[in-house]
Structure formats: C-alpha cells, structure tokens
Structure 1
C-alpha cells in the first residue's frame, strides 16, 4: 500500500468519527482498504453489502425505484448513519456512508457506468456522483476507482484533508457534488417539521404509521426491567400491543439532541416499537394519539389530577382532563414506590369524581416494580439529560 494512502486512512481512523458503511454494486474493496491499516476498529463500526435487490429493499425498508441512483445512495447513507448513532461510542461522531454503483458486467449495459457516494452527518449529507468513461476500464479497474473514491469521500466527511477526487479520475470521467440537508425523519421531528415518528424494532422509521391502541410514555434514561414488565402486563390486560413513547421535548429540561435520541432508541433495537414525539404533556399526547390508553405509574397519575401542575388552577386542570376525555384518552395505572420510598397507588391521588372513569388501576398482585431510572442513573453515576 502506498505510504501516503496508508497515512490518509490512519488519519481517518483517528478523526474521532465512527462509521457504518453500506455499499452495493461495486466498490466493496473500500472496506478492506480501511481495515488493512492497523486501527480500523476506531473508525469502522459495521460494513454492510446489500447486493441482492431483496437485501437492499430490506436494508432500506422498501425497494428503491432504481438500485444505482443518487436517491438510493442518500437513503443508504442515512440508514447507515442511524445505525452508527445507535452503536457508536458516546464520545464519537457517527457517520453513515452509502455507495451504489453500476459497473462493467458480463452483460453489455446501455446506460452509463457510474457510482453515487453519499456521506450522512449531523449537518446533512454530501453527495458525490461519478460517471465513468465507458469502455476505458475493465471491471477490476472500475472497482478499484470506486473503492478509492469511497475512501476519499469518507475522509472528507470525517474532516480529514484528502486529495481531490480528480486524482483518481481520467479525462473522460465526470464528477458532480451536492450538499443536501438532512431528510432523516428524526431530524425532521427535532426541527418541528414532524410531530411524530414511529421507530420499528428493526430501526425502520415511519412518519405516518397507524395510531397504536396503547402507549407507555417515559424518558427511558435508561430503559429498565420495570418498563418492560409494565408494558408486558398492560398488553396482557388490554389485549393489544403496547408501544413505548419518548418525547424529545420536556416541560422543564432542554430538548433532546439527535445523538441522545438515537442513544435512547438503541435500547429498544429488535425488541419494541417506540413512538417518538414532540408532546411533553399528556394533553399534547392525547391530541397526537386519540382513543389511546396511556400506561403510567401512580405517581404520574397523581400529577395529572394535581392543580399545582396546572398553574394552581383547578379550572385549567378540569379543562385539560375534559379535553383528554373527549379525545378518548384512558389511563392504566400501575402501583409503584416513589422517591421517598412510599408505595403509591391510584387511591393516593384525589381524582375528581367526574373523571374517575378515565383511570383504571393495575392490581399490585399483577405488577409492581420499585426501581426507577433516576435511581439507576444515580447508581451508575450517569447525569440526567431529560
């Protein structure tokens, strides 16, 4: 390996970024190049080659209109970045790279020989499209060019000074570059463009999924066995799946960052569906999820019927409860121990008689869990971030 090339890869490895690569159609040698230089584990989290159309469709969550297109490369990069954010070290900057190519084959091709390389970062996506001088190279030479272009694009995305792409191109090749704003549903939700995103167990994101019948809200910092057990018990009682719900906004804390959101979502990977929202209060949640049962602890139920959480106004509290009732909200309440060590039940809250029908208590014999996320953070020395 050329000394300058090896030094470039070493610089990328030491950039503080961690990446997931998704490559299809050609250029897979880039993965090997990144690992030939010692230190690859500092950079590369995962490399995926969804080569078969069915594999690519599963990776993206749907079949692309065209396997080799700029749109597909961008979708692959954003999917890879989401994966990187979920598994990267807390101090690392996650990056996703998607590359798709159409190169020399054993069958003649009518279209251009080309590749599209997208690098997705927090600020957006850098897209590079290359059209090769058709007939100039054989398959190994085209593979080598695309692999080197992938490494150069990754280096630039990692903030490393890299040779321009023109150094690997010939006179008949054409290259264009574009900077794109992020189109990730999570980023759009954080910006306020979306009110809700459904995160499936496999990581697929949906902006308009059907409304669930039951939701268990929480901060999940961290998620613990109590959350899992309560969701399971509630599902058995209600006879319907229970989705978890995480609001990126908090009444009295800063909004969650994209990185923090993805860290918390990673706890549910391949296990549960999460509704990501911008609804910090139950009144706002009821507007977003109509005819839904909210699964909550007794301490939360107490706050729902306490005037002090409505500016010391019983009128405002009654108005909020009335609106929630009109929107079909119901609350399934679990017994739990509060921070003072007292066991709290629905009976500890003074529920206005006219709203008693909104609340149903889970018998203590069916469920009670006494450890909170706050206690788990304290035990681990982790700071609260919302």
Structure 2
C-alpha cells in the first residue's frame, strides 16, 4: 500500500547541535537509513520473485533504476532498460510517434513494446513483464501544463496503469523524480506479486488514478493472431 507523507509546518529555531559548521542543518542519518531500508526490502523481494522485466522510461523515475540496479540480484530480474528521451528514439521504439508523449496511451504502448521485448529475452519458465513510464516533471523552465506521469505494466494476462498529477511548485525536479520512482517500484512489485509498502511523499490531492485490464486465454491468443503480442508462453508442470 501507499503511505502518504504530509509535510509538517516547522516553527521555532533549529537547535545549534543540529547545524553543521557552515550553518546548514545536518542530514538526519536515521531518516536516510530508514528510507534505504524500505527501498532495499522491496527491491530484494522483486529480485527474489523469479520475474523478469524490460523497462522503458521517458521523462522521469530515474532513481528507480538506481535502486533496482544497486541491490544484488538485478541481473536475474532486469533484462533491459531503455530511456527513449528524444522524439526519434521514441518513434523507433514504438514504431510510431505518440499523439501525446505524456499520456496513458503512450505509457501503455511502451509497456506493450517492453513486454514483447521481454518475451524474446527471458529464460524458460520465468514470468515476464514490460514496464512503461512517461512523465512531464519540473524542469529548468516553468511549464504551462500539469506536472504528471503515467506508469504501466504489462504481463501475459494483465495491463495495469497508474496516473498521478503532482501539485505544481511543491517539489523540486529531484523530489518529483523520487515520487515517480516510488510509483515505478510499486508497479513492478505488484506485477511480481510482491507485497510492498511504498513510503511516497504524495499529498491527498495526488492519490493515483488506476486502471486494470485483465485478459482471458482467448484474448491472449487473439492478441498473438493480431500481431499485438509476439508469442504466448505456456508453463507446464514437470512430469514425475
């Protein structure tokens, strides 16, 4: 689940003991260690799940890659990561230019492309997923539109997409990237069927909107026939 963190209002003076020699408050190492602990716990569970992913990210969530790749075991769960930042790169990845780059459709198209790639790269007997993320976050210049992102995961029988509109002016680019990274990590954990509690700095108006589409076997086969999915994988139990 999600644990929204509300920003407290601070009053009074900072204790001298909490200031560094330059007058800047010292980093709270206890908070930093606690944050790293929950990230590590989720990533370790993902790496232990025997699921493999191809991840396509554009416009944010870069910290999620660092989290996934810095914990031992990533080679067993991360098949490939691509960051299609330019229009040409995105067009080559999807075989078309999205009507809108930061949109539900674009994230789902990225997840589907990643899923097809994962099917070709994965080992036998393993569950695979495609992850697509597209975001429009804070930048060096003010943006007219919303700060928002979409993250989509595609597995053999499910497509799940989350959309979050962030409060403008509330966070720096790095902070918005961290929020989006938390959502990517949670989406991957959910697709791996891993229980994960993510400590994300989301406010009440920023609660994600989610959509889930489930596919039965007939629909899965039709997607292969239509060329939408490159293959259907069957997992057979071993014969004693």
TM-score band, normalised by shorter chain: 0.7 to 0.9
Residue 211 of structure 2 corresponds to residue 178 of structure 1? yes
For residues 1-386 of structure 1, the aligned pairs below 5 Å read: 2-163=36-197, 167-181=200-214, 190-191=221-222, 197=227, 258-259=232-233
Distance 1:163 1:130 in 2: 18
Cα pair distance change 1:157/1:194, threshold 3 Å: closer
Partner of 1:258: helix, strand, or coil?
coil
Alpha-carbon distance in structure 2 between the residues aligned to 1:134 and 1:75: 27
- Per-residue deviation, residues 161-184 of structure 1 (Å, max 9, x unmatched): 01157x4312342311110246xx
1:189–1:147 CA distance, 2 compared to 1 (3 A): closer
Q: Where does the alignment leave 5 or more consecutive residues of structure 2 unmatched?
A: 1-32, 235-240
Contact preservation (8 Å) 2:156, 2:220: no
CA RMSD after TM alignment? 2.5
**Structure 1: which 5+ runs fail to align?**
198-204, 207-247, 249-256, 261-386
Alpha-carbon distance between aligned partners in 1 of 2:225 and 2:81, rounded to the nearest angstrom: 32
Distance 1:149 1:195, change over 3 A: closer
Q: Which residue of 2 aligns with 1:266?
A: none
List, as ranges, runs of 4+ consecutive aligned residues in structure 1 with deviation greater than 6 Å. Answer: none
- CA shift in 2, pair 1:110/1:32, >3 Å: same
Bigger relative contact order, structure 1 or 2 (CA pairs below 8 A, ≥6 apart): 2
| Mapped partners of 1:33, 1:12: distance in 2 | 11
1:11 and 1:143 map into 2 onto residues whose CA distance is 22
Q: Deviations over 1:267-312 (max 9, x none)?
A: xxxxxxxxxxxxxxxxxxxxxxxxxxxxxxxxxxxxxxxxxxxxxx
Q: CA deviation at 1:196?
A: 5.3
2:187 and 2:135 map into 1 onto residues whose CA distance is 15
**TM-score, reference length from structure 2:** 0.76
User: What is the total number of aligned residue pairs between the two structures?
Assistant: 200
Q: Shift in Å at residue 188 of structure 1?
A: 5.2
Q: Which has the larger radius of gyration?
A: 1
Distance 2:193 2:225 in 1: 33
Match of 2:179, SS state, is helix
- The Cα of 1:115 is off from its aligned counterpart by 0.5
Matched residues in 2 for 1:64 and 1:150: separation?
21
Tell me the SS of whatever aligns to 1:259.
coil
Q: Distance in 1 between matches of 2:224 and 2:121?
A: 25
